């Protein structure tokens, strides 16, 4: 569905991404993991055309990303960055209506199909009860759900989520991740997300893309990627692994960092 080949990107002459290739298939959940500052958000921005790579190409549904018009692309692809801002007096419903901007004509008037898509998105994410609330009165978890609802109203085929669980309590983390999985299953929505919690990545991903600063370290099925060498060489930690007595789906191993090991420079 989306494929990036040999992406390079630098800022002020400093290489941020160096020869990165990436792909996600229709209906997959792919999670990008890696240490702080290794370039995960930058890669997501390039995959969603928020940034233009210095070299390399991104293809979406077999067509170069830059061959799409802005509206054409926004009908197929939605991104929720780490920091999101809406006018404080905006209601949840108004925010979700913003998801329809690729479909509106001149003047941004919503039509019947747009109102239906907004209602449908609010219903799917359980955010209907907050419809009339100001965004600024929502808790962090409710706010995150409101933004996801906006992205769903966009009816994309692929959704990029940058750290969707950061700053949320464990209950909301679970709610957001379960919601993501449900949307993936029911809408066959392809998800590409960044997570820092490796147990969450293990439980909710079909494949995991691991990064070291500026480059890909490994990419594959969860059980193949989450190995001792990767923990040591990417995160500089030794991990303890425990068998989870409950079947969570995905992997049945729980990872607990044990100690920091010497930085691996390879
Ligand atoms: N606008 C910018 N100007 C200068 N440097 C930048 C800019 N944006 C990103 N960088 C640098 O690019 C590198 C990669 O940043 P990026 O945000 O992609 O990392 P990340 O892996 O998503 O980090 P984190 O896990 O901390 O969110 C970092 O060293 C960052 O400081």
The ipTM, to two decimals, is: 0.97
Number of domains in the chain: 2
Distance (angstroms) between ligand 1 centre and the Cα of 38 equals: 7
Identify the residue whose tokens are 């989306």.
Answer: 2
Q: Give 223's pLDDT tier (boundaries 50, 70, 90).
A: confident
Torsion angle of the four alpha carbons 215, 232, 264, 43, in this order, in degrees rounded to the nearest 10: 20
187 and 146 share one domain: no
Please indicate, yes or no, if residue 73 is contained in any of the structural domains. no
**Over 70: is that where the pLDDT of 23 sits?**
yes
Distance (angstroms) between ligand 1 centre and the Cα of 43 equals: 10
42 and 174 share one domain: yes
**Which numbered atom of ligand 1 lies nearest the CA of 45?**
18
Q: For residues 46 and 250, which has the higher predicted lDDT (pLDDT)?
A: 46
126 and 161 share one domain: no
Distance (angstroms) between ligand 1 centre and the Cα of 144 equals: 22
What pLDDT is attached to residue 141? 87
Q: Whose CA is nearest to atom 26 of ligand 1?
A: 36
Listed residues 138, 155, 172: the one ending a domain: 155
Instruction: Transcribe 108-138 into DSSP letters.
Output: G---HHHHHHHHHHHHHTT-GGGTTSBGGGS
169 and 144 share one domain: no
49 and 105 share one domain: no
What pLDDT is attached to residue 264? 66
161 and 250 share one domain: yes
49 and 166 share one domain: yes
164 neighbors 148 (Cβ within 8 angstroms): yes
48 is written with which tokens?
């969603």
Distance (angstroms) between ligand 1 centre and the Cα of 35 equals: 11
Q: What is the mean pLDDT of residues 46-52?
A: 96
Q: Which residues contact 171 (CB under 8 A, 6 or more apart)?
A: 141
14 and 118 share one domain: no
Q: What is the CATH number of the domain that holds 186?
A: 3.40.50.300
What pLDDT is attached to residue 97? 96
Structural domain including 190 reads 2-61+157-260
Q: Whose CA is nearest to atom 7 of ligand 1?
A: 11
Q: Which residues line ligand 1 (CB under 6 A)?
A: 11, 16, 34, 36-42
**Over 90: is that where the pLDDT of 254 sits?**
no
Please indicate, yes or no, if residue 184 is contained in any of the structural domains. yes
What pLDDT is attached to residue 258? 87
């Amino acid at each position: 569905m989306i494929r990036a080949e040999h992406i390079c990107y630098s800022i002020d002459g400093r290489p941020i991404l160096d020869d990165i290739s990436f792909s996600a298939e229709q209906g997959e959940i792919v999670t990008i993991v890696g240490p702080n500052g290794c370039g995960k958000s930058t890669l997501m921005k390039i995959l969603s055309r928020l940034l233009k790579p210095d070299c390399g190409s991104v293809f979406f549904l077999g067509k170069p990303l830059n061959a799409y018009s802005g509206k054409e692309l926004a009908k197929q692809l939605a991104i929720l960055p780490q920091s999101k801002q809406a006018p404080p007096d905006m209601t949840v419903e108004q925010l979700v209506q913003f998801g329809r901007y690729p479909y509106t004509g001149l003047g941004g008037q919503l039509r019947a199909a747009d109102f239906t898509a907004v209602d449908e998105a609010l219903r799917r994410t359980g955010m209907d009860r907050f419809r009339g609330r100001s965004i600024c009165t929502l808790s962090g978890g409710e706010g995150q759900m409101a933004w996801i609802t906006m992205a769903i109203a966009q009816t994309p085929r692929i959704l990029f989520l940058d750290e969707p669980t950061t700053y949320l309590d464990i209950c909301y983390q679970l709610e957001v991740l379960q919601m993501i999985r449900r949307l993936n299953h029911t809408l066959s929505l392809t998800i590409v997300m960044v997570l820092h919690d490796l147990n969450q990545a293990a439980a909710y991903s079909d494949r995991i893309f691991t990064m070291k600063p500026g480059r890909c370290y490994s990419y594959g099925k969860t059980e193949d990627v989450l190995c001792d060498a990767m923990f040591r060489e990417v995160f500089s930690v030794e991990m303890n692994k425990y068998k989870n007595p409950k079947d969570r789906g995905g992997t049945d191993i729980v990872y607990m960092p044990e100690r920091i090991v010497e930085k691996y420079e390879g």
